[in-house]
Amino acid sequence: MKKTIRIVYRIFDDHEEKHYVMSSLTHKRLENLFEKYKGKKEKVYAKEFIAFLHKHDPKTEEVEVKDFYF
């Protein structure tokens, strides 16, 4: 059985906020979907884009990343 690899992407939206998204989409596919999503929008916001991605990969989710020091 093939295991699905999920990648964490760091994205910045037009609020200049950093978001982390985990998805099984490839980088190239993510770029293509972003261009399709962006279309004629003046601003792109992470929460809306993540909802759009969820339609193409139902397991796409925003994740919280924290530093861990030991």
**Residue 27 covered by a domain:** yes
pLDDT at res. 68: 93
Range of the domain at 24: 7-63
**Residue 68 covered by a domain:** no
16 Cβ contact partners less than 8 Å away, ≥ 6 residues apart? none
d(CA 33, CA 68): 33
15 Cβ contact partners less than 8 Å away, ≥ 6 residues apart? 45, 46
**Residue 11 covered by a domain:** yes
How would you class 37 by CB atoms within 10 Å of its CB: exposed for 0-12, middle for 13-18, buried for 19 or more? middle
Number of domains in the chain: 1
pTM: 0.79
**Residue 49 covered by a domain:** yes
Q: How confident is the model over 3-50, as pLDDT tens digits?
A: 788 999 999 888 888 899 999 999 999 999 999 999 888 888 989 999
% of the chain exceeding 70 in pLDDT: 99
**Residue 36 covered by a domain:** yes
Residue ranges in the chain assigned as alpha helix (H): 27-38, 46-56
Which range has the worst mean pLDDT, 36-40, 51-55, 61-65? 36-40
Q: Does position 2 have pLDDT exceeding 90, yes or no?
A: no
